[in-house]
Amino acid sequence: MIRGNETRDRIAHVQTSRSGYGESDPLNVTDRIRAVRTGEWKLIHHYYQDNPTRFELYHLPDDPYEQNNVIDSNPKIATELQKDLFDWIL
């Protein structure tokens, strides 16, 4: 992939917490931000202990700076990416 020999899109998963992972006791990390990214889409899942779960969906070719959350107008894509993200988490 680094050499440019691979052309297919890959799905990437990422995870962090609201305050990073500097906490010495991992059990104290209760707020997480996870995302799944394809070549075209990025779904972000905010899970905060003190707030309800929130999702954001961005169509990257049209919105590379992730300014326009299009989750309401793309429920099928959001559902597919949510399933992929939760499969990865499990």
Which among 24, 50, 20 has a CA at the least distance from the CA of 33?
A: 20
Q: Which pLDDT does position 38 carry in this prediction? A: 93
Nearest 5°: the CA angle 19, 24, 29 is: 45
Give average pLDDT by consecutive 10-residue segment, the chain, 90 residues. 69 82 71 91 90 90 97 98 94
Write down the pTM of the prediction: 0.81
